[in-house]
Amino acid sequence: GNVVGVYHGTDPSAKRLLTGSHYDTVRNGGKYDGRLGIFVPMACVRELHRQGRRLPYGFEVVGFSEEEGQRYKAVFLGSGALTGTFNTAWLGQKDVDGISMREAMEHAGLCPDDISKLKRDASKYLGFVEVHIEQGPVLNALDLPLGVVTSINGSVRFAGLIQGMASHAGTTPMGTRRDAAAAAAELTLFVEQRGAAVPDLVATVGMLEVPNGSTNVVPGRCKFSLDIRATTNSVRDACATDIQNELARICERRGLSYTLEETMRAAAAPSAPDWQNRWEAAVQSLGLPGFQMPSGAGHDAMKLHEIMPQAMLFMRGLNAGISHNPLEAITNDDTDLCVRAFQHLLDQLATELS
Ligand code: GLV
Ligand code: MN
Ligand code: MN
């Protein structure tokens, strides 16, 4: 489901610059998460075309499908295909309506058996750059339109299920209940405290569900999700271990059982210094400070990081940078600066290569 455009360079044998971002969104998300990183390079291509100009290198712009991992327990489907890490076992996964990923892809006119052909040969690329909204409050608070990413936080996600005993809410004494939702609530509070205890660590229970629950039934099952991120893999993993241990303790004490399935793991991705420098120079060429910051959110760049150098440019979001929310907002002026910064990077690269 990726959508790919190539603005060919003057030398067809030259290594290409790869860019892009995702076009899927979270449920009830905003308009710019992902899409900005597709439209900004497209605007650059339009301007190059208008000037009748070709770069010495090819410029490949990808609209990645399925970065967010909403419908299936899998993320980075599109960018993972480019790195050759699309897990074909995912094709058998079913969504909440029982539709497998393979069926969904075929319904969309895609050919799942061709996914392996999308793998890119990293030796044919200069690197990967990605433009994205910041999705946080930092640039907005500093009144800065652009920021240069130093590293993308590592993350891990789990899908959990706590099993207790469904029973009558009116007759089951409080002392003999095996309430799966109360255990999940206890775990959620632990997750919040554990995440808050360390700087640059965040931990979230984003989904909680009592399947087929009723007002008058003690919850027999509770499903939950867990998302943990940190600037280093070790801080992330220490948090995950503590949460797993706490889950075991809570379930033991309450007479419950549980399963916890890891659904995603992405290593922290530090920016390649030379690409980060190019973004800094591009931002500074606009008379702005080359402000550096880490990325708390995950991005397709984390995936491309596995096979080639990468660096990202952030653009400020309004409304305190809120994202994964329809209140997500940007300005035309900031977007114009972003396009100009990207044009500068393209030109600088052309100069370096010639
Ligand atoms: C993607 O938006 C993520 O960071 O979860
Ligand atoms: Mn997102
Ligand atoms: Mn995004």
Task: Starting from the CA of residue 323, give the closest ligand.
Answer: 2
Reported as a single tens digit per residue, the pLDDT across 90-140 is 999 999 999 999 999 999 999 999 999 999 999 999 999 999 999 999 999
**pTM, to two decimals:** 0.90
Q: If you ran DSSP here, which 8-state letter would residue 232 be given? A: S
- Confidence (pLDDT) at 271: 98
Using pLDDT thresholds of 50, 70 and 90, give the confidence band for residue 208.
very high
- Confidence (pLDDT) at 238: 98
Of 32, 36, 68, the one to substitute when testing ligand 1's pocket (max ligand atoms within 8 A of C-beta) is: 68
- Confidence (pLDDT) at 353: 94
Separation in Å, CA 77 to CA 40, 62, 88, 256, 297: 22, 13, 10, 35, 17
- Confidence (pLDDT) at 319: 96
Task: Starting from the CA of residue 69, give the closest ligand.
Answer: 1
Atom of ligand 1 nearest to the CA of 297: 4
- Confidence (pLDDT) at 72: 94
Contact (Cβ atoms closer than 8 angstroms) between residue 109 and residue 292: no
Of 299, 302, 323, 328, the one to substitute when testing ligand 1's pocket (max ligand atoms within 8 A of C-beta) is: 299
CA of 216 to the centre of ligand 3 (A): 40
Q: Provide φ and ψ at 222, rounded to 5°.
A: -145, 125
Contact (Cβ atoms closer than 8 angstroms) between residue 176 and residue 339: no
Which residue's CA lies nearest to atom 5 of ligand 1? 298
Task: Starting from the CA of residue 266, give the closest ligand.
Answer: 1
**CA 78 – CA 328 distance, rounded (Å):** 24
Reported as a single tens digit per residue, the pLDDT across 307-340 is 999 999 999 999 999 999 999 999 999 999 999 9
**CA 324 – CA 81 distance, rounded (Å):** 24
Task: Starting from the CA of residue 295, give the closest ligand.
Answer: 1
Pairing of strands 310-315, 125-133: parallel
Look up residue 272 and give its two tokens. Answer: 């390649």
| Residues flanking ligand 1, CB < 6 Å | 68, 297-298
- Confidence (pLDDT) at 18: 98
Using pLDDT thresholds of 50, 70 and 90, give the confidence band for residue 206.
very high
CA of 325 to the centre of ligand 2 (A): 10
**CA 315 – CA 330 distance, rounded (Å):** 8
Using pLDDT thresholds of 50, 70 and 90, give the confidence band for residue 33.
very high
**CA 331 – CA 317 distance, rounded (Å):** 8
Average pLDDT over residues 50-66: 98
CA of 207 to the centre of ligand 2 (A): 16
Reported as a single tens digit per residue, the pLDDT across 255-309 is 999 999 999 999 999 999 999 999 999 999 999 999 999 999 999 999 999 999 9
- Confidence (pLDDT) at 156: 97
Q: Where are the alpha helices (DSSP H) in 32-179?
A: 36-50, 77-83, 101-107, 138-142
Which residue's CA lies nearest to atom 3 of ligand 1? 298
Of 324, 325, 328, the one to substitute when testing ligand 1's pocket (max ligand atoms within 8 A of C-beta) is: 324
In the chain the beta strands, taken as DSSP E runs, fall at 3-7, 16-22, 59-64, 125-133, 146-152, 154-163, 167-168, 201-204, 208-209, 217-218, 221-230, 257-266, 269-270, 292-295, 310-315
Which residue's CA lies nearest to atom 1 of ligand 1? 298
